[in-house]
Amino acid sequence: MNTTPADAGELARTIGARTRVPGVIRVICPPFVCLAAVRDALADEALRAPDGQAVEVGAQDVHHEPAGAFTGWTSAPMLAGLAQWVIAGHSERRRDAGETDALIGRKVLAARAHDLRTILCVGEQLEEREGGRALEVVDRQVRGCLGDADPAGLGMDQLAGRPWLTIAYEPVWAIGTGRTARGADAAEMAGAIRGTLASLGFPNGGNEVPVLYGGSVTAAAIGEFLAEPAIDGALVGGASLKPDEMAGIVARAGLTAEARAAAADRPGADATFGGAAR
């Protein structure tokens, strides 16, 4: 809940101009009231990366119904022409709005039905990690949100040749608390998430679904996470309000994308080390 329509477009334009890095998918998710301003600002062709990638726009949430008596909410059809992505299940929505996995799952299906890519957020609380239940909690969240997604049918195809689903691992205990997760923690969780996706029937053992890290991401810390082959990018919070931080984060993602592309081209390279950072 930052920026207004008067300043969001300029911030997005500045970030776009300073993150023109090939091989990286850039998505900015402003508040609903700023979507049009950000969309218009990012339409500038000069903000495209050298590989032609434009900065895409996402909404921070979406309602699970297409229309109805839901005052104050925003549905997937309302986002047509404003956004290509939505976030579902962010830790703050779970905490402050009491959103359940079942409800979040309905949001995921609603977004997919209206051709919106989804960033699904999962992650454990401090007491759950300290109690040795982190993997169990995230497994339950993934299953609860995606158990009805029909991976063999409608839900698991791609949009314009790219996966429609991305999962962001948010260790809630590492967000704004001064505590820090390690790259190894995130990599272990990413592997577990893909194991759950495989058990749900996702193609290729879930390896086609990008997994992002989202725990107080900074330019100084992102390298440790992108050094892990299982991590495909970042869900950036407070640092997204700081162009210098975003420039550093995306620059590091670009180096990772370049290295992974080179590794994928070498004979015998690990196939999971391919793809672009996000």
> In terms of C-beta distances under 8 Å and separation of at least 24 residues, what long-range contacts does 223-227 make, across chains too?
223/252, 224/182, 224/183, 225/183, 225/186, 226/252, 226/253, 226/256, 226/277, 227/183, 227/256
> Can you state the angle between helices 5-18 and 35-42, rounded to 10 degrees?
30
User: Which residues are known catalytic residues?
Assistant: 90, 170
Contact 67, 75 (CB under 8 A): yes
> How far is residue 168's CA from residue 165's CA, in Å, rounded to a whole number?
10
Give residues with Cβ within 8 angstroms of 160, minimum separation 6: none
> How far is residue 138's CA from residue 7's CA, in Å, rounded to a whole number?
36
> How far is residue 39's CA from residue 56's CA, in Å, rounded to a whole number?
8
> How far is residue 119's CA from residue 166's CA, in Å, rounded to a whole number?
5
> How far is residue 130's CA from residue 171's CA, in Å, rounded to a whole number?
12
SS (H, E, C) 86-120: EEECCHHHHHHHCCCHHHHHHHHHHHHHCCCEEEE
Contact 77, 116 (CB under 8 A): no
